[in-house]
Chains A and B, each alone.
Chain A
Amino acid sequence: MSKEIIEKLKAEISGFKSEIKAEKVGRVYEVGDGVCRVWGLSDVMASEMVEIETDAGMVSGIALNLEEDSVGVVILGDPLKVKEGHVVRGSGRVLSVRVGREMVGRVVNALGEPIDGRGPLFASEKDGAFYPVEKIAPGVITRESVNTPLHTGIKAIDAMIPIGRGQRELIIGDRQIGKSAIAIDTIINQQQDTSRTIPVCIYVAVGQRESKVAKIVAELEKRGAMKYSIVVSASASDAASLQYLAPFTGCAIGEFFMDKGEDALIIYDDLSKHANAYRQISLLLRRPPGREAFPGDIFYLHSRLLERAAKLSKEYGGGSLTALPIIETQLGDVSAYIPTNVISITDGQIYLEPDLFYQGVRPAVNVGLSVSRVGSAAQTKAMKKVAGRLRLDLAQFRELQAFVQFATDLDESTKKRIVRGQVLTELLKQNDYEPIPFERQVVTLYAGINGYLDGIAVSDIKDFEKKFGDYMEKMHKDVLDAVKKSGELALAMEEKLKVAIDEVKRLYFLNR
């Protein structure tokens, strides 16, 4: 065996041809805070990867600032290894990451390197493909309209703020309000939506606590979701350069699958921290600060990232990349700089309100302020049937909510609307990590909007819902399967459903 290895090495050495060519280099003349300034490198490209030759080995960087007499390089590796006088060489290629199917189920950093301790991603140098981190978004002609639903498993969202494959839907709200929970539920729910292909899910953690990322990975593994997910992590302890790069790396991974005609879902958690990291890098590079000290191209940072999420037409493979960016607001201020920027870029937003959260309405989705610009084009016919009236009933309830405390002094129709609103509000509440398949959502909401649950106490709604769901699974699975398969609630199935609801109600009151 060792003889073979020796022979192989001998052949490689004798066949080795080394090219000696002139190359332009630079030298570090200033370094600090993760950024260094380099003299020379006169033909370096913008965003070109560079290698800094330090005493402790090569350190990577990106040339971000091309100035008249120097180049500003953001250091991607350990900045403490870089000293004045070190030679810097250009790599000749714009920053790219090696991506491939081998990444599914793994946790990687912003450079696409594995950080989960499970060994290298690729078995050989030839595996995977290099995808540029910065890429121009698909053009108008290559796209088609969003027409396939992406079910989140959350009733309030799938019914009233439907998301489609290829859409960008913003999740916005204050801290600790359930933004990440919506994103994780969406990932977990994909394995329940078996009528469609499971999209590859990419969760990009930017500036998060490592304990939170570990908890999310553990939860995804527990629910069996890691087998189709990839986690890209640039935690709070990572350099600002890595936090800046992480969403682009995640996007490059998503584009790999999209270009193969597959569906992918990417969650950016969160872009507020991404904007802060970019502000830090820009200030260190001495770029002129603008509003709130953000650089002038902060809008372009997010617009070019989010525009890469698209639904491609069949001629271009028919793949899609759905983006769910998350933005954290301060005290519910959606009119701040970064939130308004991202709201104007995305195809809708899911607004989570603190007041609703503290009232116990979780997920705390404000249906009035939330919107999906794709709308019912991304909804199944079955869901459209139940969702239309749901929005109206809830809107009427919101108007009458002030009168709830005076319920005894109101006319019958007003009382009915209030009861219906309370029932539907209770029905839309859902626990974390418990996404519901869309066919179950349809039958549950059907019961709610058609008044079958009006006679049940609000405090018993959740219990009834669970029992109803279990009953349908055991006794009327054909109805659920028909809805799942066809996406419609046909007349015959609707009749069966009505009978089932009556039966469950009868049994429920009998057993109380």
Chain B
Amino acid sequence: MKYSSNIYATALLGALKDGYHGTVVKNFLAVVRRNGDFSKIPVIVREFKKKYNRARGFRYVEVALAREDAKTIGAIKESMKLAQDPAVVIDKEILGGMIVTVDGEIVVDGSIKTRIQKLFK
């Protein structure tokens, strides 16, 4: 029977609810391979990460800045009520401002580069 990536991710999350266990993961991979769905592993991993973060109230936040700015990072962590520090990426090409990405899907783009592009559009 064919299972979707979502079902595999939910099953793995349930199997690991008591914590990480190497044997469980190994068995899981063996089951996926036996079902002929090994090519779905990247998608299963992505879905698992989303479900894992959601179950624990985590949000994976990435902040792109033109230069190091601990004060800005602190402000973001406080305003978004994050349990952990956001990941920081230094990208000089954005010129200034910041780009905040939440869970890889929601983007708030306040970079100078994008604003200049919109100005000249």
What is the interface of chain A, defined by CB distance below 8 A to chain B?
Answer: 12-13, 16, 18, 20-27, 29, 39-42, 68-70, 87
Residues of A within 8 A of B108 (CB): 20-23
A23 touches B43 (CB 8 A): no
A285 to chain B, nearest CB (A): 16
Contacting residues of chain B (94-121) with chain A, CB-CB under 8 angstroms: 101, 104-110, 115, 118-119
Measured CB to CB, the nearest residue on chain A to B115 is A18
Q: What are some 20 contacts across the A-B interface (CB < 8 A)?
A: A12-B119, A16-B119, A20-B108, A20-B110, A21-B108, A22-B107, A22-B108, A23-B106, A23-B107, A23-B108, A24-B105, A25-B101, A25-B105, A25-B106, A25-B107, A26-B105, A41-B105, A69-B4, A69-B5, A87-B107
A27 to chain B, nearest CB (A): 7
* With contact pairs A69-B4, A69-B47 given, residues A22 and B110 touching in the complex (Cβ less than 8 Å): no
Residues of A within 8 A of B119 (CB): 12-13, 16, 18
A356 to chain B, nearest CB (A): 53
B104 touches A22 (CB 8 A): no
Whether, in the assembled complex, B54 has its beta carbon less than 8 Å from a beta carbon of chain A, the answer is no
Cα distance, A69 to B105, chains bound together (Å): 13
Task: For the A-B complex with A22-B107, A69-B4 known, give 10 more contacts whose Cβ atoms are closer than 8 Å.
Answer: A18-B115, A18-B118, A20-B110, A22-B108, A25-B101, A39-B46, A40-B105, A69-B5, A69-B6, A69-B43
Cα distance, A293 to B105, chains bound together (Å): 35
Residues of A within 8 A of B115 (CB): 18
Measured CB to CB, the nearest residue on chain B to A22 is B108
In the A-B complex, the 10 residue pairs with the smallest Cβ-Cβ separation, listed nearest first, are: A40-B105, A18-B115, A20-B110, A22-B108, A25-B107, A69-B5, A22-B106, A16-B119, A69-B43, A24-B105
B74 to chain A, nearest CB (A): 20
B104 to chain A, nearest CB (A): 6
* With contact pairs A16-B119, A27-B104 given, residues A70 and B43 touching in the complex (Cβ less than 8 Å): yes
Whether, in the assembled complex, B42 has its beta carbon less than 8 Å from a beta carbon of chain A, the answer is yes
The answer, among B6, B47, B104, B118, for a CB contact under 8 Å with A40, is B104
A29 touches B106 (CB 8 A): no
Measured CB to CB, the nearest residue on chain B to A40 is B105
Binary contact readout B24-54 vs A (1 if CB under 8 angstroms, 0 otherwise): 0000000000000000001100110000000
B99 to chain A, nearest CB (A): 10
B116 to chain A, nearest CB (A): 9
Residues of B within 8 A of A70 (CB): 43
Measured CB to CB, the nearest residue on chain A to B42 is A29
